[in-house]
Amino acid sequence: MGESIKNACADPAQYSPLALAYLGDAVYELIVRKRVLEKGNRQVDKLHRESTKYVNAGAQADLMMKIEGLLTDEEIAIYKRGRNANAHAAPKNQDVVAYRKSTGFEALIGWLYLKGDMDRIHELVRYSVED
């Protein structure tokens, strides 16, 4: 996953925060799945169960709390745009605060991805999946 999608027509900051979160969710899940798979080849249901420990609103909100002090001012601004975005509703089984924080985290990941900054994404995500 060394390549990112670059759009020469638009600055990544110009995308809506929910569009950034949409992309960031996919990027984060792919990184987590890759890291879980690297820990050993297992049955797919076991891989899925381990991945979902990290790819959910609560875990992403916890990760955001761990990395918040590492963010630049620009990254914090993107995170806050995502966190404060007017998503229609949190899933029934999720805490609204955790859901909003995870949306902010996903927006940050999407923004970094569109900027082509995979090194920064990996630097931040390393705090999630246990080795």
Catalytic site positions: 25
Which CA distances in Å does 118 have to 1, 8, 85?
A: 8, 18, 24
CB 12 within 8 A of CB 115: yes
- In 3D space, the residue among 91, 93, 102 whose CA is nearest the CA of residue 20 turns out to be 102
Distance CA 130, CA 4 (A): 25
Integer Cα distance of 103 and 47 in angstroms: 24
Distance CA 1, CA 64 (A): 22
46: its two tokens = 């076991």
